[in-house]
């Protein structure tokens, strides 16, 4: 009888679907939308972490390139809370124009949700890699700091390392002008509430211009604001000391339109030497590397997955990329 049960369990595991698409529980009464392709022939798995306005679809060009390089590669992409199909599943939480604390989307919650996905899909620590774009880079760094032994390394694509200087400058200037006018009704707000007021104004004013994708559904702008306010106090330097040995690759575009190059270099200088693997700058490239330069980014991600010595030991290099 015991042998029969073991045999039954073995065949149940062996016949798990090669691909999965649907919702996976990550919290009480909360699920996230996931697309998962299991690895074959002992190949690694790449977990993709969305940028702020991304969904699983924006990775298509990149994943097509990765699968052309290695058809047996495992791929897990998902929509975090406030993104893509997960946002639409819980859109009622975003239909109320009045923001309240319980509607926030703290980055630490996203980290725990990611950990639930690791457990749900039994991702092996010795062959799983995280790749995070911008906001997703912040989630990846926090996951690395809290759960260093769950996976091999992180590939940070133009990661969010602290509140963007351009946004900070604009918000603080508006606050300063508001405080100069004693008759401005906004002066009744505390500094924190006034900051949030102008941060929301910034998102609603500028995001539709620079990120038209935020207009693809009625909820996305509000979600972008809540994701932004949920991560704005994160500072990568606060977690960098906890990065494990040989764990960090940093890929950036030389013409990033959102994050200044000195901010990337400032972050890299704070990463412990033992944790550094590679810092790669791609010329003629902007912020959304996997969308804009999918083939070259896939090539260098594959170098990470195959342990190419070119990307090891904290090496810093520049890759020439055509327009």
pLDDT digits (tens, 9 = 90+) for 28-85: 889 999 999 999 999 999 999 999 999 999 999 999 999 999 999 999 999 999 999 9
Averaged confidence pLDDT in the chain:
92
Q: Sorting pLDDT into bands at 50, 70 and 90, what band is 9?
A: very low
Among 88-97, 263-272, 308-317, which stretch is predicted with the lowest mean pLDDT?
A: 88-97
Residues 202-212 have a mean pLDDT of 96
- HEC assignment per residue over 4-43: HHHHHHHHHHHCCCCEEEEEEEEECCEEEEEEEECCCCCC
CB atoms within 10 A of CB 262: 9
Task: Classify 150 in phi/psi space as left (phi over 0), alpha (psi -120 to 50) or beta.
Answer: alpha
Q: What is the CA radius of gyration of the chain?
A: 21
Position 5 pLDDT exceeds 60: no
CB 107, CB 79: distance < 8 Å: no
Instruction: Give the DSSP per-residue string, 185-196.
Output: GGGGS-HHHHHH
Dig out the tokens for 238 from the structure.
């606060």
pTM for the model stands at 0.91
Fold of the 17-161+229-319 domain:
Rossmann fold (3.40.50)
Q: Sorting pLDDT into bands at 50, 70 and 90, what band is 97?
A: low
CB 77, CB 159: distance < 8 Å: no
Residues 95-99 have a mean pLDDT of 57
| Residues whose CB falls within 8 Å of the CB of residue 264, separated by 6 or more in sequence, listed in order | 158, 161, 250, 252, 256
For the chain, which residues make up each domain, given as ranges? 17-161+229-319, 166-218
CA 180 to chain centre: 38
Position 6 pLDDT exceeds 70: no
Residues 94-101 have a mean pLDDT of 57
Whole-Å CA distances, 235 to 109, 216, 217, 250: 16, 30, 30, 16
| Residues whose CB falls within 8 Å of the CB of residue 265, separated by 6 or more in sequence, listed in order | none
Cβ burial, residue 51 (10 Å; 0-12/13-18/19+): buried
Q: Sorting pLDDT into bands at 50, 70 and 90, what band is 169?
A: very high
CB 311, CB 278: distance < 8 Å: yes
CA 284 to chain centre: 22
Question: Reduced to 3 states, what is the DSSP secondary structure of residue 115?
Answer: helix
Quote the pLDDT of residue 11. Answer: 40
């Amino acid at each position: 009888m015991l042998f029969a049960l073991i045999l039954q369990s073995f065949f149940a595991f062996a016949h798990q679907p090669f691909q999965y698409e649907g919702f996976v529980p990550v919290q009480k009464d909360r699920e996230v939308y996931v697309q998962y392709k299991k690895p074959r022939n002992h190949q690694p798995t790449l977990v993709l972490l969305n940028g702020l306005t991304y969904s699983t679809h924006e990775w298509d060009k990149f994943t097509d390139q990765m699968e052309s390089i290695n058809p047996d590669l495992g791929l897990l992409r998902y929509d975090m809370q406030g993104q893509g199909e997960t946002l639409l599943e819980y859109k009622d939480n975003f239909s109320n124009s009045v923001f309240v604390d319980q509607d926030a989307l703290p980055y630490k919650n996203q980290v725990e949700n990611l950990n639930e996905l690791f457990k749900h899909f039994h991702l092996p620590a010795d062959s799983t890699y995280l790749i995070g774009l911008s906001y997703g880079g912040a989630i990846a760094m926090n996951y690395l700091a809290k759960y260093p032994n769950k996976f091999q390394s992180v590939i940070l694509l133009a990661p969010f390392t602290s509140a963007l200087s351009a946004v900070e400058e604009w918000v603080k200037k508006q606050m300063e002008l508001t405080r100069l006018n004693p008759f401005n009704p906004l002066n009744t707000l505390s500094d924190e509430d006034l900051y949030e007021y102008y941060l929301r104004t910034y998102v609603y004013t500028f995001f539709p211009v620079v990120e038209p994708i935020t207009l693809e559904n009625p909820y996305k702008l509000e979600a972008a604001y809540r994701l932004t306010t949920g991560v704005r106090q994160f500072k990568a330097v606060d977690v960098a000391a906890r990065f494990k040995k040989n764990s960090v690759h940093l890929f950036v575009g030389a013409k990033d339109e959102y994050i200044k190059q000195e901010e990337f270099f400032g972050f890299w200088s704070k990463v412990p030497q033992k944790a550094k693997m590679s810092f790669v700058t791609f010329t003629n490239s902007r912020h959304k590397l996997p969308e804009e330069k999918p083939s070259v980014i896939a090539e260098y991600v594959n170098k990470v997955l195959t342990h190419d010595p070119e990307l090891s030991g904290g090496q810093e290099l520049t890759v020439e990329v055509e327009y």
